[in-house]
Structure 1
Amino acid sequence: MDAVDPGAVASFRRGRRLAVDVGDARIGVASSDPDGVLATPVETVPGKDVPAAQRRLAALTEEYEPLEVVVGLPRSLSGGEGPAAAKVRAFAEQLAKNITPVPVRLVDERLSTVTAAAGMRASGVSSKKGRARIDQAAAVVILQNALETERSSGGPPGHRVEVVV
């Protein structure tokens, strides 16, 4: 059994988290349990109508009362950011304004969709049938990684999105 860093355990914040995987067509949403152990899929929000998607995410935030919302930031394998990352940053900034005072945090989501798709294929879900669910599965991967990062580092994952008024 591995030794546990008592500082990391003591500083782990108790509370539910939501994770969001933002795409052009769909937005996957996942939630953790209040102890921050397990991430599970919530729903897929249509992403083409951004104001409607923002309203739905605000409603989910109100319903789940999370400690924070984690948004996956798409980066290249080298760590760079392209047009997709800029869109997600703008989306996350608007979300942060809409759900104040709940903090929004951007976390690296490299390979989350690839990991989710591989997991779904391994469990026998076809890519055609699983399109809507793959976004939820990617949000689960993002959230599980964020929870593990917090447990290992003792601090919140990623970077907080500052609300500019």
Structure 2
Amino acid sequence: MASETNSGVYPQGIKLGVDVGTVRVGLAVCDPDGILATPLKTLGRNPKKNSDVRALAKLVLELGVVQVFVGLPRTMKGEERASAQMAGEYARLLAAELAAKGVDVPVNLVDERLSTVSAHRNLREAGMSSKNHRKVVDQVAAAGILQQAIDMQKARGTDAGRRVQAPAPSGMPSSAPTLQDASGSEPDSSTRGLQL
């Protein structure tokens, strides 16, 4: 899938934000100009069959998405625990599914500390009862993740997050999937926290 780029720095067009949970996956989308992220939908998480990953890849194709941002939930100290590992694995599964479909759409991990907390606060401030939050909170969190990413791209003039590389296709030399910073190189431990 071809996309217009901003001097080769990052793709221009419709982008998708993803908030990965153990039960649900929230999705948000932005307009082609990358101005405003809006909640889109919530998928049920199916870690055994990964049907949600396939549904997400199909949605990327249907909407003509040029880039996907998956939230990486770090601790306030910047540590990556179980939920961050789950998000990283989800991003790799999505990158692999897109590659299997022959689609070259970047999947980037972006720091999303407190996105769900902010989403709950925003819904409360909008007058929604706590009981109804569950239906939309993941979408609102995904919108926060995406808005932060597109704002960073515009402010810095560079891509946001770390790109996730899909595993090599079968028949090619196998290597573990790697994370790369937005410039395409693997971040070293001294700069990893600064890339997101």
Identify whether the pair has TM-score above 0.5, normalized to the shorter chain: yes
- The 3-state SS of whatever aligns with 1:81 is coil
Stretch moving more, 57-66 or 35-44: 57-66
Residue 143 of structure 2 corresponds to 140
State which of 38, 46, 49 in structure 2 corresponds to 1:48: 46
Q: Per chain length, whose mean CA-contact separation is higher, i.e. which structure has more relative contact order (CA < 8 Å, sep 6+)?
A: 1
State which of 102, 105, 114 in structure 1 corresponds to 2:105: 102
- The 3-state SS of whatever aligns with 2:52 is helix
Q: Higher helix fraction: Structure 1 or Structure 2?
A: 1
Q: How does 1:12-161 map to 2 (within 5 A)?
A: 13-49=11-47, 51-100=50-99, 101-161=104-164
Point out where structure 2 has 5 or more consecutive residues left out of the alignment. Answer: 1-5, 169-196
CA-CA distance at 1:12 after TM superposition: 6.5
Structure-1-length-normalised TM-score:
0.90
Over the aligned positions, Cα root-mean-square deviation in angstroms equals 1.8
How far apart in 2 are the matches of 1:105 and 1:149? 13
User: How many residues matched?
Assistant: 158
- The 3-state SS of whatever aligns with 1:72 is strand
CA-CA distance at 1:66 after TM superposition: 1.1
Structure-2-length-normalised TM-score:
0.76
State which of 155, 163, 167 in structure 2 corresponds to 1:164: 167
- The 3-state SS of whatever aligns with 2:19 is strand
* 1:139-161 superposed Cα distances (whole Å, 9 cap, x missing partner): 00000000111011111110000
* 1:37-63 superposed Cα distances (whole Å, 9 cap, x missing partner): 000111000013551111110111111
Identity of counterpart residues, as a percentage? Answer: 42
* 1:11-49 superposed Cα distances (whole Å, 9 cap, x missing partner): 674211001000001000000000000001110000135
How far apart in 1 are the matches of 2:71 and 2:153? 15
